[in-house]
Structure 1
Amino acid sequence: MSPAPATGLATRSHRVDGHDVHEHFLTVPLDRTGAGAGTVEVFAREYVRDGARDAPRLVFLQGGPGNPAPRPDVLGGWLDRALEEFRVVLLDQRGTGCSTPLDAQSLGEVGDAAAQARYLAHFRADSVVADAEALRNALQGVEPWWVLGQSYGGFVITCYLSQAPQGLAGALVTAGLPGLRASAEDVYRATYAQTAVRNAEFFARYPRDEAVAHRIAGHLDGEEEFLPTGERLSSRRFRTLGIALGQTSGFDALHFALEDPFTTVRGTTRLRTRFLVEAGRRLSFAAHPLYAVLHESIYAQGPVTGGATRWAAHRVRDEFGEFSLNAPPGAPFRFTGEHVYPWQFEEDPALVPLRGAAELLAGREDLTPLYDPEVLAGNAVPVAAAVYVDDMFVPYALSARTAREVRGVRTLVTNAYQHDGLRLDGRRLLDGLLELVRR
C-alpha cells in the first residue's frame, strides 16, 4: 500500500524535562483509497530525549478503538524505557484526540445516519495504517520505523504488517494479536467464557459483593435512579461495569464502587449519590463515543468473517445463560465485559444521536478485509508479542494461533498480567519484548 498523499506537515515544539517535544499536524485524505473526497487531520506528539536526536522512531498505537494516545504528565513506565533508545511518537488515531475527533457534534455535521455510517467506515485500522504511512513519509521519507501497539493497537500493527510492511523496521505488540479470520461471534464466545471466569474469581475474592450486585440490579428494576447526566440507570447497563474485571486493578476498583451503595431517604431505600456519580463516570461513553460505534467493526472483514456483525455481542449473549437478563432467582450474578449492545445507544445520552449510524454500520456486509494471511505467512519484519493467557478482551487461543500463522513472531506468553500489563509493568514488558525481537 502506498502512503496516502498528505498535505504539508506542520510542527510546533516545546521543552519538557530534558526532552524536545514536537507536535505534528498532517492533513490526509479521508478515503485512503483515493476514491472519495474529503480530508482529515492527523496529530502526533513526538518525544526526543536529550542526546537521542539521531535515534530511530517508535510509534505507539493506543488501544481502543476510539481512544487517543496517552497524554503523559510523568515520563515513566514503558515510555521512559522506550525513550532510552527511541524517539517516541504518540499517534492520535484518526477520530481521536487532536486527529479530527469524532463525537455526536462533529458527526452531526457530516449528514444523516447513512452519511455518518459511510464516513465512519473510513476510521478503521486500514485507514490508521495509511495515516501512519503518510506521517512516516513526511517525517523520514522511505526509512522504516518501529511500532508498539497495545490491545487494538496490536490489531492495527497486524493490519500494518499485511498492507505496508515496508514501513516497519520492527513491531512490538502487547495484548493485541487478533484472530486473522475470527468473526465477531467467535471473539465474543471466547470473551464471554473468560468474563464468566473473571466474575467467579471476583466474587470468590469479595463474596459479599455478589449479594450487593443482585440487590442493586433488583432495585434498579423496581425504582427509578438517575445518573448525573440525567438518564435513568437500568440494571442491564449497571452490569456493564464488569469491563473493569479485565484489568489487574479492576477487582479492587469494582469492589470499591460497590461499597455501601444504599442509603435511606425519608424511609425509602435509594442509591447513594456517590455510587451514582461513580457509576456514571464508568458507564458514560461521552469521552470516547467512537469506541462504542466502531467496536464490533474491528472484527468485520466482509466475506472472510461472514459479512455484517449485526450486534454480535448482543446475539451471542443468549448462548450463555448465566449472562441472561432473565436468569432465574438464585442464579449467579454476572457482570458483562468488553461488549457493546444496541440498547446502549438508547440509554447513554452521548450515544443516542449516533444510534442510526451505529445500526447501519452493524449491518454493513462489505467492510474490507484488514489482514492478509498470505502476506503475513511470508512476513520479514521482526515481531515480538506479549500474549496473556487470562486476557478477558483478546482471547488467548486466537492470539496463539495468529502467532503461529505470522512468520517470525516471537511470543512472550504469561499469566502474570491482565489486559493492562503494559500500563502496570511497562518497563519490564518492553525490556522483554526488545530482547525477544533482537535475538
Structure 2
Amino acid sequence: MEYSYRQPGTVLTDHRFTVPLDHDRPNGEQIELYAREVVACGKDPATLPWLLYLEGGPGFGARRFTGRQAWLERALADYRVLLLDQRGTGRSTPLNRQTLPLRGTPAQQAAHLAHFRSDSIVRDAEAIRPGLTGGAPWTVLGQSFGGFCATHYLSTAPEGLTAALITGGLPSLTATADEVYEAAYPRIARKNLAHYARYPMDVDRARRIADHLAQRPAELPGGYRLTVEAFQSLGLLLGGGDGSHQLHYLLEDAFVPTPGGPALSDAFLEGVRALLSFAGHPLYALVHESIYAQDPAVPTAWAAERVRARHPRFDAAKTLAGDDPLLFTGETIHPWHFAVDPALAPLRETAELLAARTGWEPLYDTGRLAANEVPVAAAVYHDDMYVDTGHSLATARAVRGLRTWVTDEFEHDGVRAGGPRVLDRLLALVHGEA
C-alpha cells in the first residue's frame, strides 16, 4: 500500500516493490525494496521526468531528507525524485546480525550476500523502472558507491538511462582491491598530515589517547571494544568537508579527571560509538571489499588489512615507540572489526567466507563504455580520500562522451555539503550548457 504525506515544500510517497533475489532465477526467492518518491509542492508529478538517486556505501539506505535539503532543492525543480533504499538497506528487506541467521549457515549467508553488489542493484532498478515510468528511461544520480552503480548501469543497461550524474564515484574499471588500497593509503596519510597542520595540538592528543587504549582498551556503550586500531579508524571523518573539525572537537574532550586518575570521558566514548558502530549499516562492513572484486579467480582476502601491513606509518605500536604523529585510517574494513563490534561479531565467519570467495564477475564492460551514447557528467573531487582521483580520471577517459568537473572546492561529500551547486553544475554539463 502506498502512502503520501507532506514535508515543508514537498509531497512524499512510499513505494514498495518485489524483486528476485537472483535476477537469473526470476521465479526463485523474492525480496522487498522500498523507495520514497519526492515531488515539489504545486507540481504535477505526471508531467515530470524521473531521477533515481543511488546512495553511497555500500550498505546505506537513501538519505532521509527533511523538505528540500542539499541537492534535492535543485533536483525538484526539474524532476520527480526516487530515493531508493538499495537491497538490504533501510526499509528494504534488511540484512544484519538479527536477520542473516534466517539464511542458515555462515556459508549460506555468504552465498546470499553475493547478490548484494552493484550488478544486482542495477537489475533491481531496471525491474522497477517500467512500472514507475511507463517504460521511459530515467536519469540516475549516483553518490560515491552509487556512482559505481551508475557506471555499471552504463555498462549493462544504458537503454534505461536518459543521463547519468556521478559525484565522487567514478570507479576504476580494472583495479583490483589490492590496487585500490595501495592507492588509498598515501592519500589517507596526506589527509592526516593536513589535519595535524590545521590542529597541531591534536598530535599529542591522539598519541595520548592511543597510548591509553594500548594499555586499557575501553568498552563503549553497547559493548563496542575500543582498541587502538578501532580508534585509528576515526580517520573516516577526514574524507568529509567538515570532518577534520569534527575529529578535532572529539579529541579535545577525550579525558576527564577521576579518583583513579585521567580516564576517557563518557561523552568522548559515546561520540566514538556513534561514529564507529556498524549497527545501522552492517552490510557496509560485510560486502565492502567485494565492490572491487572483478577477477573470478582472485578473492579479496582482506585486501585493506594486507596492504596496510606494507605501510608501516599506520602501525600504532611503532608510532607510539617513537615520536611520529599517529595516523588515522579511513573507510577500510579489517578482520578485527568483526571482533570489536557487537553488531558484526556474530557474522565473523560469514565475513571470512566472503573474503575467501572466488567467482566474482567483472562489473564493467569497457567496450560498451567506450561506445557509450548516454550523456554522463561526473564531479571528481581533487585528492578525494575515498575514491582515487587518478582512477576516476582514467575511467572518465574510457567512457565515451563523459564530461568531468574536477574541483578542490569540496571533499567526498560535496553533493551534500555544496547544496544545489554540485547537481546544478552536472546538469549543465549533460545538457550542454557548460
Q: Tell me if TM exceeds 0.5.
A: yes
Contact map agreement 2:37 2:81 (CA 8 A) in 1:
yes
Alignment partners' CA distance in 1, 2:248 and 2:9: 40
- Structure 1 counterpart of 2:258: 265
- Structure 2 counterpart of 1:51: 43
Which of the numbers 64, 72, 75 marks the counterpart of 1:79?
A: 72
Contact map agreement 1:52 1:86 (CA 8 A) in 2:
no
Alignment partners' CA distance in 2, 1:18 and 1:266: 54
Contact map agreement 2:235 2:330 (CA 8 A) in 1:
yes
Shift of 1:33: 1.4
Given residue 45 of structure 1, which amino acid in structure 2 is its aligned partner?
R
Given residue 33 of structure 2, which amino acid in structure 1 is its aligned partner?
V
Alignment partners' CA distance in 1, 2:242 and 2:29: 42
Contact map agreement 2:8 2:67 (CA 8 A) in 1:
no
Matches within 5 A, 1:160-309: 160-303=153-296, 307-309=298-300
Which of the numbers 316, 319, 324 marks the counterpart of 2:310?
A: 319
Shift of 1:270: 1.2
Structure 1 stretch displaced more, 128-137 or 46-55: 46-55
Structure 1 stretch displaced more, 91-100 or 224-233: 224-233
Question: How many residues are matched?
Answer: 428
- Structure 2 counterpart of 1:7: none
Contact map agreement 1:227 1:280 (CA 8 A) in 2:
yes
Structure 1 stretch displaced more, 29-38 or 69-78: 29-38
Alignment partners' CA distance in 2, 1:23 and 1:361: 33
CA deviations over 1:219-256 (Å, ceiling 9, x no partner):
11112422111243211111100100001100110000
Whether 1:23 and 2:25 are equivalent positions in the alignment is no
- Structure 2 counterpart of 1:99: 92
Whether 1:12 and 2:3 are equivalent positions in the alignment is yes
- Structure 2 counterpart of 1:392: 385
Whether 1:371 and 2:364 are equivalent positions in the alignment is yes
Find the residue that maps to 1:45 and give its secondary structure.
Answer: strand
Given residue 343 of structure 2, which amino acid in structure 1 is its aligned partner?
A
Whether 1:405 and 2:395 are equivalent positions in the alignment is no
CA deviations over 1:323-369 (Å, ceiling 9, x no partner):
12332422331000110101110111000011111111111111111
Given residue 28 of structure 1, which amino acid in structure 2 is its aligned partner?
V
Find the residue that maps to 2:241 and give its secondary structure.
Answer: coil
- Structure 1 counterpart of 2:326: 333
- Structure 2 counterpart of 1:6: none
Alignment partners' CA distance in 2, 1:212 and 1:326: 16
- Structure 1 counterpart of 2:25: 34
Q: TM-score, normalised by structure 2?
A: 0.96
Given residue 43 of structure 2, which amino acid in structure 1 is its aligned partner?
G
Q: 1:231 to 1:67 in 2, by over 3 A?
A: closer
Find the residue that maps to 1:349 and give its secondary structure.
Answer: coil
Shift of 1:18: 4.6
Alignment partners' CA distance in 2, 1:242 and 1:77: 24
Which of the numbers 425, 429, 433 marks the counterpart of 1:436?
A: 429
Shift of 1:35: 7.0
Given residue 313 of structure 1, which amino acid in structure 2 is its aligned partner?
A
Contact map agreement 2:176 2:292 (CA 8 A) in 1:
yes
Contact map agreement 2:338 2:347 (CA 8 A) in 1:
yes
Whether 1:143 and 2:113 are equivalent positions in the alignment is no
Q: 1:106 to 1:177 in 2, by over 3 A?
A: same
Alignment partners' CA distance in 2, 1:290 and 1:427: 29
Q: 1:35 to 1:133 in 2, by over 3 A?
A: closer
- Structure 1 counterpart of 2:151: 158
Alignment partners' CA distance in 1, 2:27 and 2:352: 23
Find the residue that maps to 1:101 and give its secondary structure.
Answer: coil
Instruction: Provide the identity percentage.
Output: 50
Matches within 5 A, 1:90-129: 90-129=83-122
Shift of 1:395: 0.3
Which of the numbers 57, 61, 69 marks the counterpart of 1:64?
A: 57
Shift of 1:191: 1.2
Q: 1:48 to 1:224 in 2, by over 3 A?
A: closer
Shift of 1:155: 0.2
* Structure 1: stretches of 5+ with no match in the other structure: 1-9
Shift of 1:52: 3.9
Find the residue that maps to 2:3 and give its secondary structure.
Answer: strand
Given residue 31 of structure 1, which amino acid in structure 2 is its aligned partner?
D
Find the residue that maps to 1:91 and give its secondary structure.
Answer: strand
Contact map agreement 1:28 1:40 (CA 8 A) in 2:
yes
Q: 1:351 to 1:36 in 2, by over 3 A?
A: farther
